[in-house]
Chains A and B, each alone.
Chain A
Amino acid sequence: MNQSKAEQADPRLAWYRRMVEIRLFEEKVQELFMDGLIQGTTHLCQGQEAVSVGAVAAMRADDVLTNTYRGHGHALARGMTPETAFAEMMGRSTGGSRGVGGSMHLVDFNMGNIGSNAIVGAGLPIAVGAAMAFKFKGQDRVALSFFGDGATNIGTFHESLNMAAVWSAPVVFIIENNLYGEYTPLRATAPIDDLARRADPFGIPGIVVDGQDVEVVRDAVATAVGRARSGAGPSLLEMKTYRYRGHSRSDPAKYRPEGELDRWKKRDPIGILGARLAGDRVLSVEAQEEMTADVQREIDASAKRAAEAPIPDLEETASYVYAE
């Protein structure tokens, strides 16, 4: 892709394109699922793109992140190619984890994506550990951990915030509050609406952020990352967001009240940034459509190439179990 001068000057153009890429990637995943090329389960993040893209925009190349099974957005935002991600989800040897990980484990240590976890809450202590290693080595690197609202009810959330606070670990905890823990609305499983308040017992900042506005996300994460990098310790950010699809592949999300999805779609993260870019005369509506078509072609071509990659050899995977 040739970056125009405008794109180099205004980082929002790249953010816009990346959010479109994540959206179209997720939609392609649904299509590949119908075709049987992707099997098992997938947890899609349409509607939550601004969180991944905005947060990653605030990271340095040598910072790291842990995330969850709803992790395609973070992986792509961090630079994993759609082809590598598709190949992983198709169980091919060219996937990020050579096909043994699947949809819930899009990892890339070279990009600092140090673990996408299928166990709720398990990524938080791992991020604290990475952060403690940076501190131990005297490096000014930061670890981010992305997780859902449901994870704030599990022990490792509280254990991790506590350890990070006690040790002033350079870590940023990011709740993607999409209002549902699997099929159950948040208020049925948590007694408060603003989960950022769960920072209070640990004496660390807890901040509610508009998770649909990529610029707001970016600024909030940059502040928290800066705080962590300076040695001032961890923060908890609560991104208010929404997933357009159900929890996973098998969930039609019939539990949602009438009209809720439409209300959130009026605050679509791509729509919000698109309107602003058009208004600022940075990227016209026509240019946005062109860009979207361009990304769609790339996504389609990536999926095609991924599907042509070889299936890994089962015996070869033994070497992934134990290191030499």
Chain B
Amino acid sequence: MSTQNKVATAAVEAARATVDLTYRDAINAALIDEMDADPAVLLMGEDVASDGGVFKTNTGLVERFGPERVINTPICENGFTGVALGMSLMGLRPVVEFMFADFMPTAADAIVNQLPKYRYMSGGKTSVPVTLRVVSGATGRFGTQHSATGESWFMAQPGLQVVTASTPGSAYSLLRAAIRENNPVIFHEHKGLYGRKGPVARGEIAEVGRAAVLREGDDLTIIATMLMLDRAVEAANTLASTGIHAEVIDLRWIRPLDLDTIRKSVRKTGRLLVFEEQVHNGGWGATIISRLAAEGTPWRAAPRAVSLPDHLLIPYSPQLEDQIIPSSSACVEAARELCGRT
């Protein structure tokens, strides 16, 4: 190996080093690494180039890559998502930031009729490498129009992929995977997790469509995303101290669903708890239960869901918001019931 190659390899190894980063900085690092790796990648959205963006995920990007690649858009989600689509057809790989997931419905035409159908309508003769980075979730005291996760809103749409980031490490590796996909991906990041610190394997690119088993256990399977995963892990620790061993799955991809990983776990535990920051109807939790039931899964107990109430909306009042978002103790309680240990 030449000296030059040795230096290059060392640089790659260094780049792969695991570092502790906040979830926010992990997203920042993924954007930097993808924009460094491919000059066709750009970031666009409302205020993305202004002071690091509203949630400071974009700190330093406009200084590093310039305003041509970090583009502040007017406030017009349907319009600028269509622009991103047009850019992708001409060889660019835009990452579009949605300041709040709640703004996605204003771009519903672009998200439902354009991004996922464009390749199809061409008879497979083009592709649409567009990533929508969507700031999701409650606990911010933002009230009912700025707090949705929206993670299951578009899961039924062929042509789309939907992914959620739950830890700094997965935020980094999943965002890199999303940007590298040659298909439209909705990437959900949770605003309640930005400050969380954790290990990030710089250079890692996650596998598309693969869930992660975060903790192994034989008594029940808990599936969660984003903030709920954080709380599920906390719940699993509490449960372990009382002798209940939960297997915790970070679902990651809502479309495509990794039924293989889920099936394998549930066949082992026989008990399933879906733990969701969304109403249960029409979401990934209900879909997983339905799919497993339809294939004749041998349950040891009927599956359970801990979700947002179906008859309420997310309130502003801090005390009420704290009540409505499923807590780790609600997860513990449901898990104990599921295991017949009330």
A321 touches B119 (CB 8 A): yes
The minimal Cβ–Cβ distance linking A127 to chain B, given in whole angstroms, is 6
B126: A residues at CB distance < 8 A: 109, 114
- The answer on a CB contact under 8 Å between A115 and B121 is yes
Nearest A-chain residue to B92, judged by Cβ: A133
A126→B124 contact, CB < 8 A? no
- Let me know if A163 is at the binding interface, CB within 8 A: yes
Asked whether B82 lies within 8 Å of A126 as measured between CB atoms, the reply is: yes
Q: Does B79 contact A (CB under 8 A)?
A: yes
**Which residues from chain A contact B183 at a C-beta distance below 8 Å?**
322-323
B55 within 8 A of A: no
A322–B81 Cα distance when bound, in Å, is: 19
Residue of A nearest to B42 (CB): A136
In-complex Cβ contact of B86 among A95, A109, A126 (8 A): A126
By a CB distance below 8 angstroms, the chain A residues around B123 are 95-101, 107, 320
A2 CB → nearest B CB, Å: 32
Residue of A nearest to B182 (CB): A323
Q: Which residues of B contact A96 (CB under 8 A)?
A: 123
What is the bound-complex CA distance between A234 and B158, given in angstroms? 35
Q: Which chain A residues numbered 108 to 122 have a C-beta less than 8 Å away from chain B?
A: 109, 114-115, 117, 119, 122
Tell me if A129 is interfacial: C-beta within 8 Å of chain B.
yes
B73:A128 contact, CB within 8 angstroms: no
Residues in B neighbouring A97, C-beta threshold 8 A: 121-123, 125
1/0 per residue B63-93: CB within 8 Å of A? 0000010000110101111111111111110
Which residue from chain A places its CB closest to the CB of B72 in the assembled complex? A166
* Closest residue on chain A to residue B121 by CB atoms: A105
- Name the interface size band of chain B: 35 or more
Q: Is there a chain B Cβ closer than 8 Å to A134's Cβ?
A: yes
B86 near A159 (CB under 8 angstroms)? no
Task: Tell me if B118 is interfacial: C-beta within 8 Å of chain A.
Answer: yes
A173 CB to closest chain B CB, in angstroms?
13
CB distance from B105 to the nearest CB of A (A): 13
Q: Which residues of A contact B127 (CB under 8 A)?
A: 323
Partner of A133, one of B82, B87, B116, B121: B87
Interface size classification for chain A: 35 or more
Residues facing B in A59-115 (CB within 8 A) are 64, 66, 95-101, 105, 107, 109, 114-115
**Assuming the A-B contacts A98-B123, A122-B113, are A115 and B118 also in contact, with contact meaning beta carbons closer than 8 angstroms in the complex?**
yes
Interface pair A130/B86, CB less than 8 Å apart: yes
Chain B residues with Cβ below 8 Å from A155 are: 76, 78-79
CB distance from B69 to the nearest CB of A (A): 8
- Please determine whether A143 and B86 come into contact, CB atoms closer than 8 angstroms: yes
A156 at the interface (CB under 8 A from B): yes
* Contact assessment for B83 and A319 in the assembled complex, using a CB-CB cutoff below 8 Å: no
Within 8 A of A (CB), among B96-114: 109-110, 113-114
The answer to whether A133 touches B84 (Cβ under 8 A) is no
Q: Which residue of B lies closest to A99 (CB)?
A: B123
Interface string of A301-324 (1 = CB under 8 A from B): 000000000000000010111111
Structural contact, B83 and A128, CB atoms closer than 8 A? yes
Q: Which residues of B contact A317 (CB under 8 A)?
A: 120, 124
Q: How far is the CB of B84 from chain A (nearest CB, A)?
A: 6
In the complex formed, the residue of B with least CB distance to A120 is B109
Q: Given known contacts A130-B87, A136-B68, is B78 in contact with A101 (CB within 8 Å)?
A: no
- Residues of chain A lying within 8 A (CB to CB) of residue B129: 323
A142 at the interface (CB under 8 A from B): no
A163 engages B86 (CB within 8 Å): no
Contact of B82 among A101, A125, A134 (CB under 8 A): A125
Contact of B90 among A99, A134, A321 (CB under 8 A): A134
Q: In angstroms, how far is the closest chain A Cβ from the Cβ of B268?
A: 31
B326 at the interface (CB under 8 A from A): no
B132 to chain A, nearest CB (A): 14
Cβ-closest chain A residue relative to B114: A122
Q: Report the bound CA distance from A324 to B208 in whole Å.
A: 12
Question: How far, in angstroms, from A127 to B333 measured CA to CA in the complex?
Answer: 54
**A153 to B47 CA separation, bound complex (whole angstroms):** 27
Task: Flag if B122 contacts A124 (CB, 8 Å).
Answer: no
State how many angstroms separate the Cβ of B62 from the closest Cβ of chain A: 15
Alpha-carbon distance A131/B84, docked complex (angstroms):
11
A160 within 8 A of B: yes
A132 at the interface (CB under 8 A from B): yes
Q: Are A133 and B91 touching (Cβ within 8 A)?
A: yes
Question: A117 to chain B: which residues have CB within 8 Å?
Answer: 114
Q: A125-B80, A125-B82 are in contact. Are A107 and B92 (CB under 8 A)?
A: no
Whether A107 lies near B73 (C-beta < 8 A) is: no
Residues of B within 8 A of A163 (CB): 73-74, 76, 79-80, 83
Instruction: Say yes or no: A130 contacts B82, CB within 8 Å.
Output: no
The CA-CA distance from A190 to B342 in the complex, in Å, is 66
Bound complex: CA A137 to CA B79 (Å) = 21
**A125 and B122 form a contact (CB under 8 A):** no
Contact A125 B85 (CB under 8 A): yes
Give A251 to B39 CA distance when docked, in angstroms: 49
In the complex formed, the residue of B with least CB distance to A95 is B123
Q: B85 contacts which chain A residues (CB < 8 A)?
A: 125-126, 129
**A162 interfacial contact with B, CB 8 Å:** yes
Contact B91 A159 (CB under 8 A): no
Q: How far is the CA of A101 from the CA of B120 in the complex (A)?
A: 8
Which of chain B's residues has its CB closest to A93's CB? B123
- Nearest first, the 9 A-B pairs at minimum CB distance are A129-B86, A125-B82, A159-B79, A320-B124, A133-B90, A98-B123, A97-B123, A323-B127, A129-B83
- What are 24 A-B pairs with beta-carbon distances under 8 A? A97-B122, A98-B124, A105-B122, A107-B122, A109-B89, A114-B89, A115-B121, A125-B79, A125-B86, A129-B83, A129-B87, A132-B86, A133-B92, A134-B90, A136-B68, A136-B92, A143-B86, A156-B82, A163-B74, A163-B83, A319-B124, A320-B119, A320-B124, A321-B119
Q: A109-B126, A130-B86, A320-B123 are in contact. List 6 more A-B contacts (CB 8 A).
A: A66-B86, A100-B121, A105-B121, A125-B78, A129-B83, A317-B120
Residues of B within 8 A of A (CB): 42, 68, 73-74, 76, 78-92, 109-110, 113-114, 116, 118-129, 158-159, 182-183
